[in-house]
Copies of this chain bind each other. A is one copy, B any other.
Amino acid sequence: MKSIALFIMFLVSESIILAQDLNNIQYPDYTKQSVRTEIRIPDIPGYRTLKCDFHMHTIFSDGDVWPTVRVVEAWEEGLDAIAITDHIEDQPSKEHVSGDHNASYRIALPVAEEKNILLIHAGEITRKMPPGHLNALFINDANLLNVNDPAEALKAAKKQGAFIIWNHPGWKAQQPDTCLWMPMHQQLFEEGLINGIEVFNELEFYPVVLDWCISKNLSVIASSDVHNIISHSYDIEKNHRPMTLVFAKERTPESLKVALAEKRSIAWFDGKLAGEEELLTAIFKASVSITPTGKMNSKKRDYYEIKNISSIPFEIESINGDLLRLKPESSIILTLNINEFENIRILNLYTGSESVLKVKYPF
């Protein structure tokens, strides 16, 4: 049939209030249901891909929200693990908010258990540069980190088995024009008191830090460092917050800790990945397939379907410089001379401050 005019619609007048409901009519669809949407990133051979954000704040330091909000946000966005890292030394709300340095963890934990979110006990050691700010993850008691000397604070964390991340080394408030590996960082590194570094924080990428991580065998980390509400800070309808992809044997805190210690992580931010070549290659190959559709074309070019099953976009450059933008969770079909794709560069996958991933087809 063909609709003549849908403009005027003959409907039962469902909007008229029925007598029996005069006391209380509920419109549950008017309010928003709390649901989890999975982030689609495939596992890689031998490991599960865990989506993690290890840096965020609550009203127990200088954040805007009650600690449980951080768990609900992470669960809804499809994350696997988070760490609440309230500043040990910086509590601007302390006129009104009191509690020891474990309070935010303790308050958030029951909701994390309900939601099956891995909540990592943590705290942020917050000093001027050097050494700057550092997150201690996998601790038992954040109160013990509250000591004057920053190296002592880090040792107190290490004594608890902490994994320590140097946060935003290139933050302009502390390093206006540079991003420097200072003697103090070298010393902390040699003592095992720096185990990973943020190559990305909030909206900033520190390319030189990626080189440090690769050369010194440190874990690459990307964090939101969110103080505000996540959905006010990132457009989570269209993007994802920055996060660290960790490749763990199992979805447990123990396995996560081992994976971080063994440097199995990638930083993901603003449609870009940064990390070690081998891991980037694995995630790319698990995400993207190129398949001939069977349809031949003239001039040595055939039809191929290029499919991306992951939530990560990819920017693929062929030998002759053509650029192909592959959106998340979508396919395109194009005519290719497949030889031009034998060696491709993935322009949004950084293996170093000045290098991107190279991949050979077929994969």
Contacts and interface: CB of A to CB of B under 8 A. Distances in A.
Nearest to A225: B1
A22 B353 contact: yes
Contacts of A329: 37-38
A17 B207 contact: yes
Nearest to A17: B207
Contact of A115 (B36, B293, B347): B293
A324 B7 contact: yes
A293 B10 CA distance: 24
B35 A116 contact: no
Contacts of A231: 32, 229, 231-232
**Binding site secondary structure of chain A:** loop
Contacts of A327: 33, 35
Given A35-B330, A295-B113, A322 B10 contact: yes
Nearest to A293: B116
A180 to B, nearest CB: 9
Interface string A279-320: 000000000000001110000000101000000000101100
Please tell me the size bucket of the interface on A.
Answer: 35 or more
A166 interface: no
A72 interface: yes
B315 A24 contact: no
B334 A26 contact: no
Interface centre among A96, A225, A235 (most CB of B within 10 A): A96
A26 B65 contact: no
B332 A34 contact: yes
B7 A332 contact: yes
Interface string A201-228: 1111111100000000000000001011
Nearest to A167: B1
B203 A72 contact: no
Interface centre among A35, A208, A315, A335 (most CB of B within 10 A): A35
Nearest to A62: B2
Contacts of A7: 33-34, 324, 332-335
6 contacts: A7-B332, A24-B204, A30-B270, A69-B229, A97-B98, A116-B295
